[in-house]
Amino acid sequence: MQTKKLITPSAGSIFWLPVFCLLLSISFPRASLAGAECPDGIPDRYGVTVNIGNTYDPSADNGFAMLTGFGLFDYDKIWPHAAPEALRFKIEVSAGSTWTKDRDFMAAASMFALYYIDRWAKGNFRPYVEGGIGGIYTQWKVDGQGSHLNFNPQLGIGTEFSSGDGATYLVAVRLHHFSNAGLKEDNRGVNSIVFVIGRFF
């Protein structure tokens, strides 16, 4: 699959990485207080994940990995209206690159609604479903893809689990799509499967 370049890998990393580090610091100003009880009784939670993905449409030629920082909040604390007790609002900021062929830079920012399926919870495991949308920049493009900057809807299922030392981890699998939603005439979408593994602080 032929790829097209907007900028060289080194230039892309130099330009975009500071931008997303700034977004990360703005998005999570209270990261050092992670796990502290909030007045409403549901704590804000923060963590980091590694997201490892591979495209399956239009081809399986592009594998990628992204380091992601996230914040998880009570949904009705962010959006002031009645919401189910098990519903949360999540913000993610990611940066990484492809590992197949060239090392092409990628960066993304997303927001999710996450719902805990407590009826399926057992022992230290608490499963959830999540869905959201954001924006993604990819230095690489597939044939027919009109833009390096695209919309990025995702849908996933995962679980949190605790270890003997008290730390909380998570694993998930996601359907990952990006395209420009018709903002350009060329709008070949790219679909991937993404595996997520991480921990809360």
pTM: 0.78
How far is the first Cα of the chain from the last one, in angstroms, to the nearest whole number?
A: 40
For residue 58, whether the previous peptide bond is cis, meaning omega lies within 30 degrees of 0, is: yes
CA distance 196 to 49: 6
What architecture is the 9-31+45-200 domain classified under in CATH?
Beta Barrel (2.40)
pLDDT of amino acid 102: 85
* Digit-coded pLDDT (tens) for 91-124: 999 999 999 878 999 999 999 999 999 999 999 9
CA distance 115 to 28: 21
Asked if residue 187 has pLDDT above 80, the reply is: yes
